[in-house]
């Protein structure tokens, strides 16, 4: 009797596991949303007429990201990522809108825990408001430029269609307006939800 219960339990677990492993097969669509709060570690730098100046204060920010990917072959997905970053420090604020094609590769196809690597290259638009040091006047500028990111992480699939994702990556955005080049670069972590159809 004990052997039969063990065999039934093993069969049920095997069936559940097999259905959960098909998340990253060719033809599937993955949609995700994630955010990070105060986990960006980086210092903005600005180059004016060839002279580089780095901000002395570290930037903390809020990042929201949405992505959609299509698995062209098993474990390899291509798609697009939309994101918005907001950061503020000492009366200054910056908002960056990002749109970028993306590629991801998932490892361990026979597991509910799926490590992955990803990369994005695209366009970013920066809108910046800065407060004058002496008066309360504010200056607003905007510029567009190159965005890229590389990273990795792990997605834990709680069932065949829903996963929790934890990621760590490096991103960089570079904007040039007139003779001023602004670069925002650093490491950030992300926590998100993933849905597979």
Place 67 in a pLDDT band, splitting at 50, 70 and 90.
Answer: very high
Task: Provide the pairing of β-strand 162-177 with 180-196.
Answer: antiparallel
Q: Report d(CA 194, CA 32) in Å as an integer.
A: 4
Residue 17, pLDDT score: 41
Nearest to 187 by CA among 53, 61, 34: 61
Count of domains forming the chain: 1
Domain of 37, CATH number, reads: 2.40.160.20
List the single range of 8-12, 59-63, 72-76 with lowest mean pLDDT: 8-12
Residues paired with 73 in a beta bridge: 76
Task: State mean pLDDT over 173-187.
Answer: 82
Range of the domain at 58: 24-196
Nearest to 180 by CA among 30, 25, 44: 44
Is residue 14 domain-resident? no
Q: Report d(CA 56, CA 75) in Å as an integer.
A: 42
Tell me: the pLDDT tens digits for 37-50? 544 555 566 666 67
Tell me: the pLDDT tens digits for 107-163? 998 889 999 999 999 999 988 887 766 677 788 888 899 999 999 999 999 998 999
Residues paired with 103 in a beta bridge: 78, 119
Is residue 8 domain-resident? no
Is residue 98 domain-resident? yes
Is residue 17 domain-resident? no
Is residue 167 domain-resident? yes
Is residue 11 domain-resident? no
Is residue 118 domain-resident? yes
Tell me: the pLDDT tens digits for 93-119? 888 999 999 999 999 988 899 999 999
């Amino acid at each position: 009797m004990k052997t039969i219960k063990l065999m039934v339990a093993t069969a049920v677990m095997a069936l559940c596991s097999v259905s959960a492993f098909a998340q990253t097969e060719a033809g599937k669509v993955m949609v995700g949303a994630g955010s990070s709060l105060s986990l960006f570690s980086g210092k903005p730098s600005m180059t004016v007429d060839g002279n580089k100046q780095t901000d002395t204060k570290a930037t903390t920010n809020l990042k929201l990201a949405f992505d959609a990917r299509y698995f062209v072959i098993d474990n390899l997905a291509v798609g697009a990522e939309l994101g918005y970053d907001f950061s503020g420090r000492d009366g200054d604020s910056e908002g960056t809108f990002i749109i970028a094609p993306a590629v991801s590769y998932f490892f361990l196809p026979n597991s509910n825990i799926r490590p992955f690597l990803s990369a994005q290259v695209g366009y970013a638009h920066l809108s910046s408001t800065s407060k004058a040091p002496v008066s309360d006047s504010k200056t607003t500028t905007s510029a567009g430029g190159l965005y890229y990111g590389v990273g990795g992480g792990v997605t834990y699939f709680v069932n065949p269609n829903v996963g929790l994702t934890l990621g760590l990556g490096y991103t960089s955005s570079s904007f040039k307006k007139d003779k001023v080049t602004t670069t925002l670069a650093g490491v950030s972590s992300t926590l998100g939800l993933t849905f597979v159809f």
